[in-house]
Structure 1
């Protein structure tokens, strides 16, 4: 498959994903053979980093970034973005290592960049689907997305999803040094910043499948951070709009 936007780098953060990494990268290269892969491993004790090194030694399309501790999803992606911006890749993709993001959906995300700057793989637009999630996880995800949509005043239906493709320009122009959020709050943060900066954001349907091997990294702390941050961003946005929309009085206008 030819990528009209230029070279593609898929950033895959890992922590204890040894059983999942090989199959997901194999499927990725079957779907998009020309894509490069950057595995960002947070010192996985199960040997994921060592496996990634072996894969990189056998395939020039694969690189590995080793980090010294488990510092969270957001920090891992930001480190991967930094590597991407040092090279010539024109498209940077976020993809989970656990198999929940089907590599077979990646061609559709890349194609959608023809008229977008950031493409979100969406579970909650027409054609999107979630498989094998218990009811409480579905309600948590849908509720978080609804709350984010209302609080921020955006039309994105799956702003918490982590399967997405950025044009290089988006990462170059956003101030990534200001991004400190983690978990799925990081995903809300990046999409919100892109919207605020005026970039074109588009959603395409994906099929999300719950992991079959390993343990989910979701926790109550991650959910709590997201609710607090989204609430704060929403209030700040509305306050700025109120100030901007206030009429200018004679005193404020001056002579």
Structure 2
């Protein structure tokens, strides 16, 4: 009992609480609540519109903070309500544990010890042994599916992304979350990782008792909702997150460090480096204004080329170069269309000429981008090959 008291004090000093979302799990709810109370009284139970005896069971726990939602709205909504109450009570961390009996409250110390070891804001997910004989195959498949998309969206590999046994840093998860059901637990970890907070697994025990366990996961509906969420997250990843993170890291490098690490010492082959440079030049000149960074990073990721080089050379369209690029595009485009803009002169600005001769500009721009990209690619390949020979 002394160890439990000590742990209770540590939980209080950490400003942590335990949140138990529940919906029609009256068979196991009492056992879970009693198990958690053995370690701490900082407990919030969210009754998500249960229609069984959940409310009667909770009436015997006056020491527990309770939220009763009149109509079932989904686990995600229940967790949001729990997080909101936890913040109101000045908690900084929340451990969430399912009420269906699959999680062991005696793993609470594992979360606390991992948090103390990290000594920084971190989101911890209990990693289950999905190879146990009693683990349903659909759960194992769903977890692998979720793990893959979490890696694609964040670059972080985890063994288990679907476990509901977690520790959340309340001040560092997004303030606004949009999903209400099981997909909430995917949204929150992906968006927290996007905010720069480490998301890690820690080992936990798991119990799948078919006689007690009640699952509210609807395979078709919920899997569809999760798939739609992942489509949205992937699009955001490719069009915003990866370009944002890449641009941030690129800005931190000096030009000398960039040349040394990303051109001279890069392990990429000369052909891949040259292709990356050509890609950057093409996207930089082509009429993709406003989307050049996103496009070049996405293409470099998909093609597995050098993202740094592609991004760097996409900046060929810096302000001093823009008039020359526009002029060259219009002049080249004039070779392919009958209406010619002529020289950039007189009272019209370059952008007015583009507006009045859009087809000419677009065609000329793509031709100029292609030719220039080929020249840059060939030249850079020859220079890189020559540099490598000199270094031998």
The answer to whether the 8 A contact 2:74-2:182 is kept is no
The answer to whether the 8 A contact 1:161-1:184 is kept is no
The answer to whether the 8 A contact 2:95-2:166 is kept is yes
Deviation by residue 1:129-178 (Cα, 9 ceiling, x = unmatched): 6562232332232233234323543222322221111223224xx22x2x
Q: Match of 2:156?
A: 154
Q: Match of 2:126?
A: 121
- Work out whether 1:26 is the aligned partner of 2:34: yes
The answer to whether the 8 A contact 1:42-1:70 is kept is yes
The answer to whether the 8 A contact 1:118-1:202 is kept is yes
The verdict on how the C-alpha distance between 1:3 and 1:142 changes in structure 2, with shifts beyond 3 A counting, is same
Give secondary structure in 2 for the equivalent of 1:187: helix
Q: What CA distance in whole angstroms lies between the structure 1 residues aligned with 2:139 and 2:149?
A: 15
Q: What CA distance in whole angstroms lies between the structure 1 residues aligned with 2:100 and 2:133?
A: 14
Q: Which range is displaced more, 220-229 or 203-212? A: 203-212
Q: What CA distance in whole angstroms lies between the structure 2 residues aligned with 1:180 and 1:138?
A: 26
Higher relative contact order (CA 8 A, sep 6+): 1
Please give the TM-score of this superposition, normalised by the length of structure 1.
Answer: 0.85
Give secondary structure in 2 for the equivalent of 1:227: helix
Q: Match of 1:16?
A: 24
Q: What CA distance in whole angstroms lies between the structure 2 residues aligned with 1:76 and 1:7?
A: 21
The answer to whether the 8 A contact 2:46-2:78 is kept is yes
- Work out whether 1:42 is the aligned partner of 2:48: yes
The verdict on how the C-alpha distance between 1:135 and 1:214 changes in structure 2, with shifts beyond 3 A counting, is closer
The answer to whether the 8 A contact 2:77-2:181 is kept is no
Q: What CA distance in whole angstroms lies between the structure 1 residues aligned with 2:78 and 2:131?
A: 27
The verdict on how the C-alpha distance between 1:129 and 1:106 changes in structure 2, with shifts beyond 3 A counting, is farther
Where in structure 2 are there 5+ consecutive unaligned residues? 1-6, 244-292, 298-310, 324-392
* Alpha-carbon offset, residue 90 of structure 1: 2.5
Selected match of 2:165 from 153, 163, 166: 163
The answer to whether the 8 A contact 2:46-2:66 is kept is yes
Q: Match of 1:74?
A: 76
Q: What CA distance in whole angstroms lies between the structure 2 residues aligned with 1:148 and 1:228?
A: 14
The answer to whether the 8 A contact 1:109-1:165 is kept is yes
Q: Match of 2:304?
A: none
Q: Give the alignment's Cα RMSD to 1 decimal.
A: 2.3
Q: How does 1:50-65 map to 2 (within 5 A)?
A: 50-56=56-62, 60=63, 62-65=64-67
Q: Match of 2:230?
A: 230
The answer to whether the 8 A contact 1:75-1:180 is kept is no
* Alpha-carbon offset, residue 231 of structure 1: 2.3
Q: What CA distance in whole angstroms lies between the structure 2 residues aligned with 1:166 and 1:106?
A: 13
* Alpha-carbon offset, residue 75 of structure 1: 0.3
Number of residues paired by the alignment?
Answer: 242
Q: What CA distance in whole angstroms lies between the structure 2 residues aligned with 1:170 and 1:122?
A: 21
Give secondary structure in 1 for the equivalent of 2:61: helix
